[in-house]
Amino acid sequence: MPADVSLATVAAQAGVSVSTVSRIVNGETRRASPATVQRVRDAIEAVGYRPNPAGRALRRGETQLVAVLAANLDNPAMATIASSTEAALREAGYVMILCDTHDRPDLQDEYLAAMRVQRVSGLVMIAAVASPGLAEMAEAGVPMVFVTRRNPVGPGLFVGIDDRAAGAAVADHFVAAGCRAPAVVFPRRGSSASRDRVAGFIDRLAALGAAPDAIMRGEGDGLSHLQVGYDGAAGLFASARRPDAILCVSDQIAYGVARRAREAGIGIPDPCRLVSIDGTPLNQWVAPWLTSVRIPYPVYGAEIVAGLEAIRRGGAPAERLLPFAFG
Amino acid sequence: MPADVSLATVAAQAGVSVSTVSRIVNGETRRASPATVQRVRDAIEAVGYRPNPAGRALRRGETQLVAVLAANLDNPAMATIASSTEAALREAGYVMILCDTHDRPDLQDEYLAAMRVQRVSGLVMIAAVASPGLAEMAEAGVPMVFVTRRNPVGPGLFVGIDDRAAGAAVADHFVAAGCRAPAVVFPRRGSSASRDRVAGFIDRLAALGAAPDAIMRGEGDGLSHLQVGYDGAAGLFASARRPDAILCVSDQIAYGVARRAREAGIGIPDPCRLVSIDGTPLNQWVAPWLTSVRIPYPVYGAEIVAGLEAIRRGGAPAERLLPFAFG
């Protein structure tokens, strides 16, 4: 397919160097003989080469940088979002600068200040934290998109799922399966996504007749969701009334809960089933015992770029909620 | 600790906005009253603020960009390397541009050409593929460091482990454990790392008396090591002579092999033990049945930056081999 045709293919076809092709593709024909220029143009025709718009813009000096600030690149979900965003940005003629804020407000602010001086064309905040610099950035008029977590300090275009609805769907799933002792494990310092998933789950169970205090809760501290799951499940498995179904608000929390279950000698999914919300591809390889609500992370990139360009065209920020499904 | 003190902390202490602090920190004092400047300087003293050198350089317009080209950000090992590199670069006053080449020579060349025009201060190639642009880049004099895979088209500073020694260590481990039917699963289109691990394993087994054809081999195609492991193990588990110990040249290959074993009803680690080479932290959560040679990815970032600066100081490229250990 043409997308796979590279400068190198053109160079091989024309029998010249990649830099010669690169120069001619970008209009610098002085240093090449007319015959070479013609040979390269014929080769471009012959192999159907289409330049990468990002590369072309950069070579022309029209740098179009978009900064992506992610809270934690070790999290497979965020890495998948970053990867799909990079591909969508490249397709649209941008180059991505990726910064890892380690979920720290001070680093987020340093990078926001730096990217402002870089005159980036847009900012993608994957799991932003509240910080004074973030509030000021929103006023600076740089197009911003908030991903997985809503803007914690104001309005802003959000790309994600309906987290409350996802939590409610898991409640329905548990009730339909006849579960009698439901529980939920979540981070104590929760993001908007975590909070909404827990609230949707608990409200739906209550609406279906569960007494609020009948729903067991396990909270964990720290940034690592693996640890949050491991710590949050400890109390649940130690209690007299054992849960028979646990909502884990992320895949990594489910991995942590499963490790605790293993150590406590409790079988998954029987007698205790786990359902998580993420549906990262790794599950099918390492967690066949896990049911997960699948979030379409691979299409987030296209939605994020569409959102940035809508804002640049003066469009009003609106939610871009993507469909989820039981995986 | 001071590293956690942000512009925001200073701003709160001084009772001014983050941008005011940012301007004064960077010497733009005209727009602020002498009293404000003094208040901010006192606040900086009081809270022990130390500016992020990267942010400061960028705000001064002295952009110090380093491009990291990674073959596959979905791979947890590469994501960990990218994350530790970002932290080490920030510490040294650089900002990281991260590009995902999807292991494609044409994309690698497009990004190399683009980063050249960006005048990046250095290039970090995580799992580089052979491409004409890479050969030309090496001649262009931009400091380059090759990580996990050696430069496939020439010399260059390499940061990684002694892959042959790691393969040999697994052979010793199998022999010491009395394994009689060893096997190895690896990618057909292997990198220098994969090839060296396999060669080190097979040569050591031969040196210890194994007949070369007694060592079973399972090869898999494709970029996903999960799929490579799943496909590569299929023939091994179907053969009359079942392996009792398998070297998987990466953690993800081990996950794929384990899934195949599960479907074939073969127990891990008994009757068939698995040893992989990576030792990513996820193993302890989702793969307690896996023994892994641990590669110190979290310290790669510091080694990579030290290597870049050595080259910039005119040092001769040398290997930076890091120690590995059974995890």
pLDDT, one tens digit per residue, over A193-246 is 999 999 999 999 999 999 878 999 999 998 789 999 999 999 999 998 999 999
Contact at CB, A288 and B259, closer than 8 angstroms: yes
Does B105 sit within 8 Å of A8, measured CB to CB?
yes
pLDDT digits (tens, 9 = 90+) for A122-131: 999 999 999 9
Average model confidence (pLDDT) for chain A?
Answer: 87
Which residues of A fall within a CB distance of 8 Å from B226?
A: 282, 285
Among A21, A22, A292, which would you mutate to test the B interface (most chain B Cβ atoms within 10 Å of its Cβ)?
A22
Alpha-carbon gap: B208 to the closest alpha carbon of chain A (Å): 34
Among residues B24, B63, B69, the alpha carbon closest in space to that of A116 is found at B63
Residues with Cβ within 8 Å of residue B315, at least 6 apart in sequence:
none
Contact between chains at B95 and A99 (C-beta distance less than 8 A): yes
CB contact (8 A) between residue B97 and residue A95: yes
CA distance A51 to chain B (A): 8
The nearest CA of chain B is from the CA of A207 a distance in Å of 35
Q: Which residues of A touch B54 (CB under 8 A)?
A: 110, 114
Contact indicator for B76, B84 with CB cutoff of 8 Å? no
* Contact residues, chain A, for B287 at CB < 8 Å: 286
Query: At how many degrees (to 10) do helices A76-91 and A300-312 cross?
Result: 50
The pLDDT assigned to A4 comes to 46
Mutate to test the interface with A, among B18, B90, B142, B283 (most CBs of A within 10 A): B18
Q: Is B294 left (phi over 0), alpha (psi -120 to 50) or beta?
A: beta
Asked whether the beta carbons of residue A288 and residue B22 sit closer than 8 angstroms, the reply is: no
* A76 close contact with B: CB closer than 8 A: yes
Q: Do B113 and A262 touch (CB under 8 A)?
A: no
CB contact under 8 A, A97 and B95: yes
Give the global pTM: 0.78
Å from A9 to nearest chain B CA? 8
Of A5, A59, A117, the CB nearest to B61: A117
Could you give the CA distance from residue A190 to residue A219 in angstroms, rounded to a whole number? Answer: 10
Q: A264 CB near a chain B CB, below 8 Å?
A: no
The residues near B245 (Cβ < 8 Å, ≥ 6 apart) are B174, B177, B179, B181, B182, B183, B272, B273, B274, B275
- Whether B285 sits inside 8 A of A256 (CB atoms) is yes
Per-run averaged pLDDT (10 residues), chain B, 327 residues: 59 80 68 80 76 50 78 83 88 84 89 81 94 88 93 93 98 96 94 94 96 92 91 95 96 97 96 96 93 95 94 84 90
B64 and A CB contact within 8 Å: no
Closest partner residue to B83 among A8, A12, A73, by Cβ?
A73
**ipTM of predicted complex:** 0.75
**Closest to A192 (Cα-Cα) out of A153, A231, A137, A144:** A153
Please give the pLDDT value at position A256.
98
Residues 6+ apart with CB under 8 A from A41: A24
CA distance A318 to chain B (A): 28
Q: What is the mean pLDDT of residues A235-260?
A: 96
- CA torsion sign for B314, B319, B325, B326 is positive
Of the candidates A22, A63, A133, the beta carbon closest to that of B8 is on A133
Tell me the nearest-neighbour CA distance from B57 into chain A, angstroms.
8
Chain B residue numbers with beta carbons less than 8 Å from the beta carbon of A263 are: none
B178-204 in b/e form (b: 16+ CB < 10 A) is ebebbbbbbbeebbbbbbbbbebbbeb
Which tens digit of pLDDT belongs to each residue from A34-65? 788 888 878 877 777 765 545 454 444 455 78
Residue A114 has its nearest CB partner, among B18, B54, B287, at B54
The closest CB to that of B106, out of A8, A255, A287, belongs to: A8
Q: Do residues B147 and B81 lie in contact, with contact meaning Cβ atoms separated by under 8 Å?
A: yes
Which chain B residues are Cβ-neighbours of A19 within 8 angstroms? 136
* Cα–Cα distance list, A158 to A150, A319, B56 (Å): 6, 5, 30
Q: Which residues 106-165 of chain A have a CB within 8 Å of chain B?
A: 106-107, 109-111, 113-115, 117-118, 131-133, 136
CB contact under 8 Å between A74 and B79, yes or no, is yes
Q: What is the pLDDT of residues A137-164, one digit of tens each?
A: 888 888 999 999 999 998 899 999 999 9
B68's tokens: 């990291």
Of B11, B109, B117, the CB nearest to A18: B109
The whole-number pLDDT of residue B2 equals 37
User: Amino acid identity of B219?
Assistant: E
Residue A2 has pLDDT above 50, yes or no: no
Query: How many CB contacts within 8 angstroms connect chain A with chain B?
Result: 185
**3-state SS, one letter per residue, for chain A:** CHHHCCHHHHHHHHCCCHHHHHHHHCCCCCCCCHHHHHHHHHHHHHHCCCCCHHHHHHHCCCCCEEEEEECCCCCHHHHHHHHHHHHHHHHCCCEEEEEECCCCHHHHHHHHHHHHHCCCCEEEEECCCCCHHHHHHHHCCCCEEEECCCCCCCCCEEEECCHHHHHHHHHHHHHHCCCCCEEEEEECCCCHHHHHHHHHHHHHHHHCCCCHHHCEEEEECCCCHHHHHHHHHHHHHHCCCCCCEEEECCHHHHHHHHHHHHHHCCCCCCCCEEEEEECCCCHHHHCCCCEEEECCHHHHHHHHHHHHHHHHCCCCCCCEECCCEEC
Mean pLDDT (whole number) for A15-26:
75
Q: What is the pLDDT of residue A204?
A: 97
Question: How far does the CA of residue B228 sit from the closest CA of chain A (Å)?
Answer: 12
**A288: contact with B, CB 8 A cutoff:** yes
Q: Which residue of A has its CA nearest to B66?
A: A97
Query: Are the Cβ atoms of A97 and B97 closer than 8 angstroms?
Result: yes
